[in-house]
Amino acid sequence: MARIEFQHVDKRYSGAEGLAVNDLNLDVKDGEFLVLVGPSGCGKTTALRCLAGLEDISSGDILIGDRVVNDLPPKDRDIAMVFQSYALYPHMSLFENMAFSIRMRKAPKAEVESKVREAAQILGLEKLLDRKPGELSGGQRQRVALGRAIVRDPAAFLMDEPLSNLDAKLRVQTRAEIARLHQRLGTTIVYVTHDQVEAMTMGDRICVMRDGLLQQVGTPQELYEHPVNLFVAGFIGSPAMNFLTGRVAHDGAAAALALDGLQITLSGRAAAAARTCGDGQTLTIGMRPEHLDVATAHTSNAVRVPVLVDVVEFLGNDALLHATVGGTEVVALVPVARGVAVGDRVELAIADDLVHTFDPQTDHTLGNTAAA
């Protein structure tokens, strides 16, 4: 077990003009399950490969367990990696696949046997040990890839999108299984995914990346409630947060957001944030679909948005409304009991302390508006 630290790590691929990883600072605690998440091409895999020692870093330091590992070859970093492709040795039986790493370390025969059997038992692979990878289902191969890492008993597991080749149902199962494995072994895990749902459900903490730059690190709840910028706000949460951009209009103590042909009165924290802006300055407000509801007579302390409903998706208990306000699409998750139909004009309301505010010039969050 070990903590892992990235200190000002840059990675530039030879021939590439930009940095694949740009000044990454990240501290992974001992035993933590940290998820690196971001859209495709943002540098997650690169960061993980630098940590594994498969790529040299251009500058900065990487520490594993308080030891700078910049110049250590992968085998001396005491880490195990689960590849997106699984990378099982196709000509070896499952037993040999899992035994390979400890054989390379010259473990005595009895130890190899017992460690492989133990890992196979944890993952329910005992009966398959004589098979070759080609004779397994996708889910089983995935387990073998995990098993190969477990046998090593490393200081940290590195996993690069290990679930992306599984079908949806198996992915949900395996997600829980990896979480259980982490609880059982207590080993530090750095887990890469582009799927924010995976990140939110599995990670102790999540590190959001974009274009090689770290955006925000925090617990799933912190990211959900206090995204630092528009990107994180839009990336975390499903369905994604709604954004409305307009000009701030001050009217005495009250503040409003002027969209084309329509004024949205702001209150509470949103109004406080608006007050920091000058009159006529642009402001973006963010509203999560699950926080929006159809306004009723009793709704108070809320920001109200009049919309025209386009599409209603029935989800069982709730319905997902796709609506427009002044040309911008707004998605809202409301109880089916509200009885909203296509073509209806309704007023959506959101508790004013749940409204996020952003500066559209910098994309940064304004003030500390959203405290749930």
Partner 1 sequence: MTAVAAPLTTPRQGRRQGRLRRLFSRSTVNIILVVIGLLWLLPSFGLLVTSFRPAQDFFSAGWWQAIAHPFTLTLDNYRHILQTGGIGDAILTTALITVPATLLVVLIASLAAYGLVFLRWRGRDWVLVLIVALMVVPLQMALIPVASLYRSVGLFNSIPGVVLFHVAFGLPFAIFLMRNFYTGIPKDLLEAARIDGANEWMMFRRIVLPLGKPALASLAIFEFLWVWNDLLVSLVFLSGSSHVPITVAILGQLRQFGSNIDLISTASFVSMIIPLGVFFAFQRYFVRGVLAGAVK
Ligand X SMILES: Nc1ncnc2c1ncn2[C@@H]1O[C@H](COP(=O)(O)OP(=O)(O)O)[C@@H](O)[C@H]1O
- Which range, of 42-50, 61-69, 282-290, 317-325, touches ligand X by CB under 6 A? 42-50
Binding site partner of 186, from ligand X, partner 1, Mg ion, none, Cβ cut-off 5-8 A by kind: none
CA dihedral 140, 145, 151, 154 (to 10 degrees): -150
Total site size for Mg ion, rule CB under 5 A:
1
- Considering the complex, what minimum distance in angstroms separates the CB of residue 92 from Mg ion? 26
- Dist. CA 221–CA 50, nearest whole Å: 28
Name the residue nearer to ligand X (CB basis): 207 or 307: 207
Asked whether position 46 contacts Mg ion by CB under 5 A, the answer is no
Q: Which of 17, 40, 106, 314 binds ligand X (CB under 6 A)?
A: 40
Binding positions for partner 1, 37-76, rule CB under 8 A? 52-54, 73-75
Which one of 45, 101, 142, 357 is in contact with Mg ion (CB under 5 A)?
A: 45
How many CB atoms sit inside 10 A of residue 50's CB? 25
Rounded to the nearest angstrom, the gap between the alpha carbon of residue 262 and the centroid of all alpha carbons in its chain is 35
Site string for partner 1, 96-115 (x = CB under 8 A): ----xx--xx----------
134 binds partner 1 (CB under 8 A): yes
d(CA 51, CA 325): 46
Produce one character per residue of 339-353: b if its CB has 16 or more CB atoms within 10 Å, e if not.
Answer: ebeeeeebebbbbbb
**Residue nearer to partner 1 on the CB measure, 166 or 319:** 166
| Inter-axis angle of helices 109-122 and 94-104, nearest 10 | 130
Least distance (Å) between residue 146 CB and ligand X:
20
What x/- string results for residues 44 through 83 when contact with ligand X is judged by CB under 6 A?
A: xxx-------------------------------------
The interface partner of residue 81, options being partner 1, Mg ion, ligand X, none and the CB cut-off 5 to 8 Å by kind, is partner 1
Is 26 one of the binding residues for ligand X (CB under 6 A)?
Answer: no
- 42 touching ligand X, by CB under 6 A: yes
Instruction: Give the interface size with partner 1 as a residue count (CB under 8 A).
Output: 31
Per rule CB under 8 A, is residue 15 in the interface with partner 1? no
CB-nearer residue toward partner 1: 78 or 344: 78
Beta strand residue intervals within the chain, DSSP E: 4-11, 21-28, 33-37, 59-64, 67-68, 79-82, 156-160, 188-193, 205-210, 213-218, 242-251, 254-259, 262-266, 282-287, 293-294, 302-314, 318-325, 328-335, 345-351, 356-358
CA angle 188–109–53, rounded 5-degree value? 35
Torsion angle, alpha carbons of 20, 23, 29, 30, to 10: 60
Cα angle: 233, vertex 234, 237; to 5 degrees: 80
Task: Answer with the entry of partner 1, Mg ion, ligand X, none that 20 interacts with (C-beta below 5 to 8 A by kind).
Answer: ligand X
Work out what residue 132 binds among partner 1, Mg ion, ligand X, none; the CB cut-off runs from 5 to 8 Å by kind: partner 1
- Nearest CA among 304, 238, 315, 293 for reference residue 270: 304
- Give me the count of residues in the chain: 372
CB 223 within 8 A of CB 38: no
Nearer Cβ to ligand X, position 56 or 329? 56
* Distance separating alpha carbons of residues 162 and 193, to the nearest angstrom: 8
Residues forming the site for partner 1 (CB under 8 A):
52-54, 73-75, 79-81, 83, 85-91, 100-101, 104-105, 132-136, 138, 141, 148, 152, 165
Residues forming the site for ligand X (CB under 6 A):
13, 16, 20, 38, 40-46
Residues forming the site for Mg ion (CB under 5 A):
45
